[in-house]
Amino acid sequence: MPIFHLYAKKHTLFVKFRFNWVTHKTYKIEENYVAQTVYVNYLNLRPEKTSYILTMIDLDLSEQELQRRQKLDKLRAMGINPYPANLYPIDCTTKDILADFKEYQIVCVAGRMLSQRIMGKASFAEIQDSEGRIQVYFNRDEICPGEDKELYNEVFKKLIDLGDFIGIKGTLFKTQVGEPSILVKEFTLLSKALKPLPLPKTDADGKIHDAFTDPEQRYRQRYVDMVVNPHVKEVFVKRTKLFQAMRNFFNDAGYLEVETPILQSIPGGAAARPFVTHHNALGIPLYMRIANELYLKRLIVGGFDGVYEFSKNFRNEGMDRTHNPEFTAMEIYVSYKDYNWMMDFTEQLLEHCAMTVNGTTKSTFQGQEIDFKAPYKRISMRDAILEYTGFDISKKSEDEIRSAALGMGIPVDMTMGKGKLIDEIFGDKCEGNFIQPTFITDYPKEMSPLCKTHRNDPELTERFELMVCGKEIANAYSELNDPIDQRERFEDQVKLSERGDDEAGQFIDQDFLRALEYGMPPTSGLGIGMDRLIMFLTDNPSIQEVLFFPQMKPETGAKKVVELNDHEKAILDIVQKNGEMELAALKSSLELSGKQWDKSLKHLNQNELTKVFKNEDDVLIIKALD
């Protein structure tokens, strides 16, 4: 195989090929060929293998990236593995050191180097691990007590960059200004970073420059975001604390954590548009879970007193600052309870979670102070709409509610049923007024197809939603366990779907109805949007800020490079020159075996380089694709 040598001048890359240290060929590749595969013919050297592929070269590399790759080669030439495999024996974290600082203690830590101040024979640096940062002091003669000073003079000063992971063994001391530091006795390169971090800079006046703040870049490169913006990492630490607090609360109450299917044959348990996929072996469509409610209720039928699940749900709907197509919900179902009990339970749960996450029941969200301390205000949906619009929805027909909504300037249409119309009025005129945690209770039956009819008013259901800062974070019912009533509710939802409401239930889950017919005890269920709840507990107005990797449009990049053999290149060359041509004529012009022809044509078509189709005369035609 040839040996490749790369070197760059401005925007032009030169590639020098050496074969057996005798043949020399230099190729100049003009500027801005990004991620192209370079083919070099060595017909005179290896006629049976006409192309060698140079590793994909990104000519868009910055000067720093090129320099870091050169340093990588130098390290390897010195016998230093820039990516060692062996364990590094850390015995503490920066947080441990600072919390219980003991001068002259010997420690072993590791982390990224995020600053470096070289001062001849001595240098200061700063490393960051998972818990924080600490200053480290490099002295040439401490690191290299003998005659050979290469480890300090060459490796540390010239070949280690900001962002590299290094291991440090040394003793603790404080500088003259009292800064806790580590005197380095040994250091080890643990991982070489080939891209420079976008580290912010602070000037003499304390102003921060070049901060990594662009939202799109931060969401796409969350790994960088968390390194250079440590407060972002803290949000996700609190998110984990929230899950742990809620799980402990349920476990202490004696309820069981379970798992239910994500791929479902019927998308049930909520009114939402599902993602659809296909199961090849079964030959059936499957739906990504929009809710886990119906499966959890089956478990109550099966004899569990209380079950809960943290579930990933997927809804093929819009994206905005409070909605992501993939989100996390918690749902819990407890037998022999009702929605009044569940309101009390929810207050206690959220008070406990706020204390665990923040150490207080109070949090600030976009300038508003929220207090999660129980009890919370309770108001019916009818009274809320009456208070903020003056319109009483009680005993009103669908047409009357639609006319009222239009009179309020709310855009509604004929596809909307009574429940959807009431929901539009409440969302437009009432939601934003509820800043402190507030239970909205007693929803109209049309809005709640899985909820039990209210014990005092047959037009209502025993349901509540918990509103915080104008957003719903929890939804709960006295669960419907009458299988006949449930079937009628499902059928009403299907009728709404047929009228054009794409968020109404389109399916009747016959197996769930069968489960109810075996008998489900009185049950109350609660669902909490975990992403929204952590938004309120960490003062983040965008759901993207509390998701490690929020959904984004794909990045536009260089076109995929396809490796072609000689037969494939010959076929593609003829087709590109002729445009469209008969497939039979192309095959007859090439001296290929049947296997070579089939394999080459399949590869070209699969990679969308060519396309085969029939013309009006039913003749197979091949054409090249751009």
Query: Could you read off the pLDDT of 429-465 as tens digits, one per residue?
Result: 999 999 999 999 999 888 887 789 999 999 899 999 9
Assess whether 490 and 612 both reside in one domain.
no
Assess whether 325 and 446 both reside in one domain.
yes
Is residue 299 assigned to a domain?
A: yes
pLDDT at 503: 57
pLDDT at 626: 66
Query: ∠ CA(93), CA(95), CA(100), 5° rounding?
Result: 100
Residue in this structure with the two tokens 């047929």, named with its chain if needed: 498
Assess whether 31 and 142 both reside in one domain.
no
CATH number of the domain where residue 600 is located = 1.10.10.10
Assess whether 302 and 360 both reside in one domain.
yes
Is residue 276 assigned to a domain?
A: yes
Q: Tokens representing 166?
A: 């290094």
Assess whether 594 and 504 both reside in one domain.
no
For residue 315, give the nearest of 287, 355, 350 by alpha carbon: 287
Task: In whole angstroms, give the CA distance from residue 551 to residue 553.
Answer: 7
Assess whether 98 and 16 both reside in one domain.
no
Total domains, the chain? 4
What is residue 546's DSSP assignment?
G
Is residue 588 assigned to a domain?
A: yes
Residue in this structure with the two tokens 């979670």, named with its chain if needed: 353
CATH number of the domain where residue 517 is located = 3.30.930.10
Assess whether 44 and 110 both reside in one domain.
no
pLDDT at 51: 37
Question: What backbone phi and psi angles, to 5 degrees, belong to 525?
Answer: -125, 150
Query: Could you read off the pLDDT of 53-110 as tens digits, one per residue?
Result: 333 344 468 888 999 999 999 999 999 999 999 999 999 999 999 999 999 999 999 9
Which residues fall within 8 angstroms of residue 487, CB to CB, at 6 or more apart? 508, 513
Task: In whole angstroms, give the CA distance from residue 621 to residue 586.
Answer: 10
Q: Which domain holds residue 113?
A: 94-197
Q: Tokens representing 198?
A: 């976008």
Does residue 375 have a cis peptide bond before it, meaning omega lies within 30 degrees of 0? yes
Question: What backbone phi and psi angles, to 5 degrees, belong to 119?
Answer: -135, 60
Assess whether 594 and 536 both reside in one domain.
no
Residue in this structure with the two tokens 């909820």, named with its chain if needed: 451
Assess whether 278 and 362 both reside in one domain.
yes
Assess whether 186 and 313 both reside in one domain.
no
Task: In whole angstroms, give the CA distance from residue 472 to residue 204.
Answer: 45
Query: Could you read off the pLDDT of 201-245 as tens digits, one per residue?
Result: 877 787 887 888 888 899 999 999 999 999 999 999 999 999 999
Task: In whole angstroms, give the CA distance from residue 44 to residue 434.
Answer: 80
**Cβ atoms of 567 and 591 closer than 8 Å:** no
Is residue 418 assigned to a domain?
A: no
Q: For all residues of the chain together, what is the average pLDDT? A: 87
Is residue 246 assigned to a domain?
A: yes
Is residue 420 assigned to a domain?
A: no
**Residue 524 neighbours by CB distance under 10 Å:** 24
Is residue 328 assigned to a domain?
A: yes
Assess whether 355 and 469 both reside in one domain.
yes
For residue 171, give the nearest of 162, 159, 158, 184 by alpha carbon: 184
Q: DSSP letters along 397-449, please?
A: -HHHHHHHHHHTT----TT--HHHHHHHHHHHHTGGG--S-EEEE--BGGG-T
- What amino acid occupies position 21? W
CATH number of the domain where residue 151 is located = 2.40.50.140
Query: Could you read off the pLDDT of 1-37 as tens digits, one per residue?
Result: 344 444 444 444 445 444 433 333 444 444 333 333 3
Is residue 406 assigned to a domain?
A: no
